[in-house]
Chains A and B, each alone.
Chain A
Amino acid sequence: MSASPAQAELAPGAYEYDQSLTLDESPATRPPLVLGAKNFHDITEQVSDIVERRTPRPWVLLLVAAISLFLVLQGSLYRLVTTGIGEWGNNSPVGWAWDITGFVFWIGIGHAGTLISAILFLFRQKWRTSINRAAEAMTLFAVACALIYPVFHVGRPWLAYWLFPLPNQMTMWVNFRSPLMWDVFAVNTYGTVSLLFWFTGLVPDVAMLRDRAVTRGRQIVYGILSFGWRGSHRNWLNYEKAYLILAGISTPLVLSVHTVVSMDFATSVIPGWHTTIFPPYFVAGAVYSGFAMVMTLMLMARRAYRLDNLITIRHIENMNKIILATGAMVSYSYIMEFFIAYYSNDPYERFHFINREFGPMWWAGWTMFTCNALIPHLFWFKRIRRSILASFIISIFVNIGMWFERFVIIVSSLYRDYLPSAWGYFHPRLVDITTFGGTFGLFFSLFLLFSRYLPMIAASEIKGVMPEANPHAHDPTGEHATHGPDLLEAAHVRT
């Protein structure tokens, strides 16, 4: 190869990082997002290897376990449909219990994926590139788990399409003034937009797998899924605009989805539900629970696939900071709910909040408060934020706490409302427990299949945030526009 002036200037190795760089955040010296003397090809290899390597034994074992749990879900749903909704412990006065708890829990989990893929993108948080693909996949799978609950709670799931405004023999339409109807539109829009966003992001990376494919099956499947992508900049121009627009519309969407979910409760007149703080409170809680789930999943994937150089301590610390911030919002909301109950002078509202912490379900109230409003404040300490073990344990606490939050809001508001003669209690039945446990089987089955057959790290996005991706990296003057004619002149002289 002949060395032209342009190449001499772009000596290889010029971009290598100093391996001793610390990962401390300092505005003056930004630490690298990818560790090790990585080049573009190394990223390709590392991301593709997860898909291309021989099937790992632990993966098979985990998949068998996850699918077994998924079978438990199927069995539970079979029992539920053939026997009746009474197989769940819901009964007057607690008409909503583990089902809606599970629905809100899973929808909330999904919100972190959209936050990472959309909101952090708009804020130019480049560290998101290491985790966004897996987080978006998590969103989709969480929405799939969430949708199970309303579909089966209708009792006759084969008639669940009645939720949509479709022409029918009674010439009646759905009631658009009902927040439950708003929820149908919000959740379906959310699922669809998340799928489109996720798929759009996948195309360039699937093209990468296609170009490396050695087996016929992979060539065909990845060939179809990659749409004939060939990295043309004329295509990237539309693609980047599409990505920006999808991020821009997903941001208000994700805020609206949990707002609408909270309105399922807030528009009623039940003490504990009928509050204006619900929309922001639910959105903060959703992001909070979702980030905890991202943390749980990514720490496991990081360990299993040795992604330490892509998901660095800095990424973990940043996620912990978001968990801390949203956790602080949730803590504030909890305290504010108590204050408003006191300040409103409404005896039913006051009674509800005393009953929440000191009534027969005190254990649920305190689990929620401890897991969500006390334990995450350990993240104020830098050492804990940067400890992998502590992050993992705290993320599990938050996952548990956020499930209890929904349980407390739903069940403890319902079992003792206005009339003491109508009070009751709630006991979950076996099918409640197996249904909820089974959704984890569905979730992990999908996640394991995804991590094995699709690029779980957004390779093209990671390449784009590496220092050598900057087209002006070696412009001492910074006036890149002058280089074109110079180079052209030089080229013509020699032509």
Chain B
Amino acid sequence: MSAPDALLAGADATPPPPWGLVGFVETAPHIYRTCEALRDAGYKKFDAHTPFPVHGLEHAMGLKPSRLPWIVLVCGTLGALSALAMMIWMNVIDYPMNIGGKPFLTIPSYVPITFELTILFSAIGTFFGNWGLSKLPRYYDPVMRHSSFHRATDDRFFVSVEAADPNFELARTRALLENLGVKDVEEVAP
């Protein structure tokens, strides 16, 4: 917490509790083991911030698989059904047109557009579902307050533990992180 913030909060007020602890390690195997250790110590509200997806880190962190496929399944189904509904309603019910004496309801000729709209709806569902599940875009996140967090997209592997975690205890969690070899463990403000 910086000096002006303390002044604003009032001289006699106790500083507000930090959002959590953030530090980094320098290799992929190291972040993997750090996450395993945090998971095994019972932490739930912790995260890893890495420049690329470290393979299998979700197992080390004890995360459940993404729910994204269900969103995509719903969107894709919706795409197929709306394509069929659109074509049948427009070309068979609302304004049937006699073209070369062909039947009005011709399912085979509806296949390509049904297929394309299934893909289109699935892709849109994937795109927005992905960002929605990750709560992005967002303007700010407390982990960004760490003094070298800009290297999380470069070559450092950050780990953050939230104070909201029931196991969190400032001194003990800090000692655990430091003993795991996590460097520059900093308290970050919310």
Contacts and interface: CB of A to CB of B under 8 A. Distances in A.
Interface in A177-213: 177, 179, 181-182, 185-186, 188-189, 192-193, 196-197, 199-200, 204, 207-208, 210-212
Interface stretch (B1-9, B13-21, B65-73): B65-73
A353 B158 CA distance: 65
Contacts of B150: 211-212
A52 interface: no
Contacts of B139: 228
A40 B155 contact: yes
Interface in B22-40: 26-33, 35-37, 39-40
Interface string A217-239: 00000001001111111111111
Contacts of A473: 28-29
A173 B91 contact: yes
Nearest to A483: B33
A139 to B, nearest CB: 14
B97 interface: yes
A189 B120 contact: yes
A233 B53 contact: yes
A41 B136 contact: no
Given A240-B53, A463-B51, A245 B122 contact: yes
Interface stretch (A66-74, A248-256, A400-408): A248-256
B94 A233 contact: no
Contact of A227 (B48, B60, B131): B131
B153 interface: yes
Interface stretch (A83-91, A96-104, A293-301, A485-493): A485-493
Interface in B97-125: 97, 99, 102, 106, 109-110, 112-113, 115-117, 119-120, 122-124
Interface in B66-106: 66, 68-69, 72, 76, 86-87, 90-91, 94-95, 97, 99, 102, 106
B40 A232 contact: no
Contact of A495 (B40, B87, B176, B183): B176
A160 interface: no
B130 A193 contact: no
A237 B136 CA distance: 13
B49 A200 contact: no
Contacts of B76: 249
Interface string B148-190: 0111111100100000000000001001101111010000000
Nearest to A181: B113
Given A233-B48, A245-B122, A484 B60 contact: yes
B141 interface: yes
A428 interface: no
Contact of B49 (A40, A227, A232, A256): A232
B181 to A, nearest CB: 4
A312 B155 CA distance: 23
A357 interface: no
Given A177-B91, A256-B112, A471-B28, 11 more contacts: A177-B99, A211-B153, A211-B154, A227-B137, A228-B140, A230-B49, A231-B152, A238-B129, A469-B55, A487-B180, A495-B172
Which 7 A-B residue pairings sit nearest by Cβ, starting from the closest? A484-B36, A242-B130, A40-B155, A227-B137, A471-B32, A4-B181, A491-B179
